[in-house]
């Protein structure tokens, strides 16, 4: 009913680990020393100003301040770039994981479900994919890795779409991804702005490790004896896709 042997594990885990490793080595490592770079920019700017310094007209404090502000601006620009790159890498890692999971589930569910299940698997959102897997007897939501994957799913939606249900849920359940947000003290509940979303390299690593643990958690096989209660929404969704397939089948010559 659901088979997942060592070859499946190797085929799915290998690309994930390679992607994460290369993302760190080729991209994220470029931002490891931005504080030192900012200090160097400050020093160079101060030396440049010194070439035109007139002790009779200029205040040394102004040169120090201008150089300091130049260094700060450089650091902020690089830090914003670092966050943008890390968010993009996080979204890419989740997209790769989500696509691989749907492909595997579509193959396995097609052995014991009608043709419409393929359309369903490629259409439902990620939480419903998890419900389908738990239906087959695979524990996921109770595992330590699941919170990181759930948070990743939400933050990727915020990264792509901004305000919405995912933004509200992420801010409420996982506020650590909005580290610079300070809630107001009034009665009215406020949310951080979507652009305040941040992912550190350590958080990127935690998410990548959670995806690895997800794959390692899948048992080698599940059969009918492992089946749990069918998700309440499943029959309704299947009927919708059955109608879609039947409608398109009647259009064929």
161-184 pLDDT, tens digit each: 999 999 999 999 999 999 999 876
Mean pLDDT confidence for 183-198 = 80
HSE at residue 16, side-chain half, CA atoms within 13 A, is 29
In this prediction, residue 247 carries a pLDDT of: 60
Given a cut of 70, is residue 189 above it in pLDDT?
Answer: no
Residue 229 is given by DSSP the state P
| Inter-residue contact 208 to 86 (CB < 8 Å) | no
Q: How far is residue 41's CA from residue 36's CA, in Å, rounded to a whole number? A: 9
Judged against a pLDDT cut of 60, whether residue 252 lies above it is answered with: no
Contact call for residues 10 and 206 (beta carbons, < 8 A): no
Q: What are phi and psi of 136, to 5 degrees?
A: -80, 0
Please tell me the predicted confidence (pLDDT) of residue 253.
38
pTM of the model: 0.88
Answer whether residue 130 shows pLDDT above 50.
yes
* Residue 116 domain boundaries: 2-250
Q: How confident is the model at residue 50 (pLDDT cuts 50, 70, 90)?
A: confident
Tens-place pLDDT, residues 143-166: 999 999 999 999 999 999 999 999
Q: Are 3 and 221 in contact (CB under 8 A)?
A: yes
- At 51, the pLDDT band (50, 70, 90 cuts) reads confident
Question: How many structural domains comprise the chain?
Answer: 1
Q: What is the pLDDT of residue 231?
A: 95
What pLDDT is stored for residue 251 in this prediction? Answer: 47
Q: Taking residues 29-51, what's their average pLDDT?
A: 89
Give the pLDDT mean for 38-49. Answer: 87
* Residue ranges in the chain assigned as alpha helix (H): 6-22, 34-50, 60-109, 116-121, 126-135, 146-161, 165-173, 201-217, 234-250
How many angstroms separate the CA atoms of 79 and 38, rounded?
A: 10
| Predicted confidence (pLDDT) per residue in 63-97, tens digit | 888 889 999 999 999 999 999 999 999 999 999 99
Closest CA to 119 of 127, 109, 111: 109
At residue 182, the 3 state secondary structure works out as coil
Q: What is the mean pLDDT of the segment spanning 49-76?
A: 83
- Looking at every residue in the chain, the average pLDDT score rounds to 90
CB atoms within 10 A of CB 12: 21
């Amino acid at each position: 009913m659901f088979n997942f042997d060592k070859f499946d594990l190797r085929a799915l885990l290998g690309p994930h680990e390679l992607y994460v490793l290369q993302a760190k080595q080729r991209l994220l490592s470029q931002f490891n020393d931005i504080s030192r770079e900012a200090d160097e920019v400050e020093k160079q700017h101060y030396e440049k100003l010194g070439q035109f310094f007139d002790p009779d007209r200029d205040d040394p404090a102004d040169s120090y301040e201008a150089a300091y502000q130049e260094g700060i601006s450089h650091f902020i620009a690089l830090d914003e770039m670092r966050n943008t790159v890390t968010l993009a890498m996080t979204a890419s890692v989740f997209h790769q994981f989500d696509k691989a999971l749907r492909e595997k589930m579509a193959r396995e569910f097609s052995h014991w479900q009608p043709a419409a299940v393929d359309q369903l698997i490629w259409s439902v959102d990620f939480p419903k994919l998890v419900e389908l897997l738990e239906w087959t007897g695979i524990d996921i939501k109770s595992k330590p890795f699941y919170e990181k994957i759930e948070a990743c799913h939400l933050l990727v939606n915020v990264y792509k779409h901004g305000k919405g249900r995912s933004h509200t849920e992420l801010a409420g359940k996982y506020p650590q991804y909005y580290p610079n947000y300070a809630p107001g003290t009034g009665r009215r509940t406020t949310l951080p702005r979507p652009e305040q979303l941040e992912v550190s390299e350590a958080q990127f690593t935690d998410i990548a490790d959670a995806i690895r643990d997800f794959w390692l958690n899948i048992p080698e096989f599940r059969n009918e004896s492992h089946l749990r209660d069918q998700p309440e929404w499943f029959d309704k969704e299947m009927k919708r896709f059955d109608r879609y397939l039947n409608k398109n089948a009647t259009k064929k010559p």
